[in-house]
Amino acid sequence: MSREATQAPAAGPSSPAAGRLHRWVLPLKRPEPINPALVKDAEKRAEYAQNRVADKITAFSGSMAFVYIHVVWFGLWIGLGVEKYPFGLLTMIVSLEAIFLSTFVMISQNRADAKRQVLADEQWKTVQEEERQNKQLLELSQQILALTKEVRGFADTAKDDHEQNEQLLDLTKRTLAEVRRKSNGSTDR
């Protein structure tokens, strides 16, 4: 069976109050990446259980639920008198927790750096592809310019030829008119 088929459907909040509690207490689910490079990176990262665990711990420790649990825990610890002031055991527990959480923060920062690197690499590939396309466009523009110059040269030659043909036609018409005039004048005599 696939992983999706074995998981129970997620139950949504059943009342408006439960919805507000869910939004205020539970960590918000981050949106899935839409950049193909980040999707591929996330899939690669999710292949390892230690990465999935670190991501879940980081997501939870960076949520308000984490804060609320600690407020309740510290309040109960002190309020119920689990130990007397200066709370040595609580201090030791919190110090150990801080050590581990700082490690998870570093892991999260490394992951963010890796994401930025993936994005930078993809942008670099895009820039290189655009540069290659720009070179091709420049070459095509130069070829079009050269062809345009040739066409103008042909157009100028055709214009000159047309003017010469007009002059020749005009001369031919005048000559023909002169010949007709002379031939009409000689037949009249």
Residue 31 has pLDDT above 90, yes or no: no
Higher pLDDT, 137 or 20: 137
In a domain, 169, yes or no: yes
In a domain, 166, yes or no: yes
Instruction: Assign 145 a pLDDT band (cuts: 50, 70, 90).
Output: very high
Higher pLDDT, 139 or 4: 139
In a domain, 8, yes or no: no
User: 52-73 pLDDT, tens per residue?
Assistant: 888 888 888 888 889 999 999 9
Instruction: Assign 5 a pLDDT band (cuts: 50, 70, 90).
Output: very low
pLDDT mean across residues, the chain: 83
In a domain, 6, yes or no: no
SS (H, E, C) the chain: CCHHHHCCCCCCCCCHHHHHHHHHHCCCCCCCCCCHHHHHHHHHHHCCHHHHHHHHHHHHHCCHHHHHHHHHHHHHHHHCCCCCCCCHHHHHHHHHHHHHHHHHHHHHHHHHHHHHHHHHHHHHHHHHHHHHHHHHHHHHHHHHHHHHHHHHHHHHHHHHHHHHHHHHHHHHHHHHHHHHHHHHHHHHC
Residue 115 lies in domain = 17-182
In a domain, 39, yes or no: yes
Residue 50 has pLDDT above 60, yes or no: yes
The pLDDT, as a whole number, for residue 188 is 60
Q: What is the pTM of this model?
A: 0.51
Residue 21 has pLDDT above 70, yes or no: no
In a domain, 54, yes or no: yes
In a domain, 81, yes or no: yes
The pLDDT, as a whole number, for residue 6 is 41
> What is the mean predicted confidence (pLDDT) over 78-89?
92
User: What is the count of structural domains for the chain?
Assistant: 1
| Least confident piece of the model among 3-7, 89-93, 168-172 | 3-7
In a domain, 3, yes or no: no
